[in-house]
Structure 1
């Protein structure tokens, strides 16, 4: 879901009407949810990487090998 500017303005107006304690609690909840989403993305990415590795779809080599490969493109 993509929030429009109007949606964000409404959300910010509602946040502005909260008490400082409630706003602090909201910040904590949002921070924790953001951390969880990042963890979920890392887990998803690592699973995809391991699948590719197990199927031998990845290249292996040194940094020099990588640089040579990049220069040849």
Structure 2
């Protein structure tokens, strides 16, 4: 409930900003989202490389994958 109240308060505060300030805020948030997503992608790549080096990645064609799934 507290989070909802805070969110509502934030929306009210944004509403009080000028249109230019709202545009600036939108741009800042977009850039932060883009940067956060880049960091997530970099972490996923790092984990994928680690898994590959440790032999935790299955490689093969579709028939190999189906055979592997049927063995479980």
Give TM class, smaller chain.
0.7 to 0.9
User: What pairs with 1:32-47 in structure 2 (closer than 5 Å)?
Assistant: 32-47=31-46
Q: Structure 1 pair 68/5, CA: closer, same or farther in 2 (3 Å)?
A: farther
**Uncovered stretches (5+) of structure 1, i.e. residues with no partner:** none
Q: Report the RMSD for the aligned CA atoms in angstroms.
A: 1.7
Q: Which runs of 4+ in 1 moved over 6 A?
A: none
Question: How high is the TM-score relative to the length of structure 1?
Answer: 0.85
Structure 2: tracts of 5 or more residues without a match = none
Distance, in Å, in 2 between the alignment partners of 1:5 and 1:51 is: 40
